[in-house]
Amino acid sequence: MKVVLRSDVDGVGAAGSVVDVADGFARNHLIPRGLALRATGGTVTQVAALARARAARDLRERETAEGIAKQLVAEGVTIAARAGSGTHLYGSVTASEIAAAVTARTGADVDRRKLSLAAPIRTIGSHEVSAQLHPEVAFSFNVEVIALS
């Protein structure tokens, strides 16, 4: 029986693919659990349309991430934080604060979970932050922490 997989199934295929499986496996396991749908002309056409839309959306997201990466690598981000005497900060600069600064700088909404810090930023100066805004777009950029006056 030909079925369209709704989610990844080990040993069978990936979500969105049309596969040929045993009738009993489809009727007793895949379809009742919502893992697959019977492959009819309409469902195959719908899956193809969804795949095209997913590819177009992925391309747009990658291009947006590359644009943000170019801007951040070239310019970096500056964050003002309260500091004590010397170079130590009161508290630390978090990934949320960096994400907010990136959003203010680029205009694109950046999730804090896409940023990774080697260690918490607790001093004034230049620090390197890694980001992966898309599975194919990973980069590092400079965060300059200055004392708040």
In tens, the pLDDT along 96-132 reads 999 999 999 989 899 999 999 988 999 999 999 999 9
Question: What CATH code is carried by the domain that includes residue 53?
Answer: 3.40.5.10
Q: Which domain holds residue 126?
A: 61-147
Q: Which of 15, 43, 58 is the last residue of a domain?
A: 58
- Same domain, residue pair 32 and 67: no
CB 62 within 8 A of CB 70: no
Q: Which of 12, 35, 58 is the last residue of a domain?
A: 58
Could you tell me the pTM of the whole model? 0.72
**Residue predicted with more confidence, 112 or 16:** 112
- Same domain, residue pair 41 and 103: no
| Mean pLDDT calculated for residue range 123-143 | 94
- Calpha distance 136→60 (Å, rounded): 12
Q: Which of 37, 58, 79 is the last residue of a domain?
A: 58
- Same domain, residue pair 43 and 97: no
Q: What is the pLDDT of residue 43?
A: 87
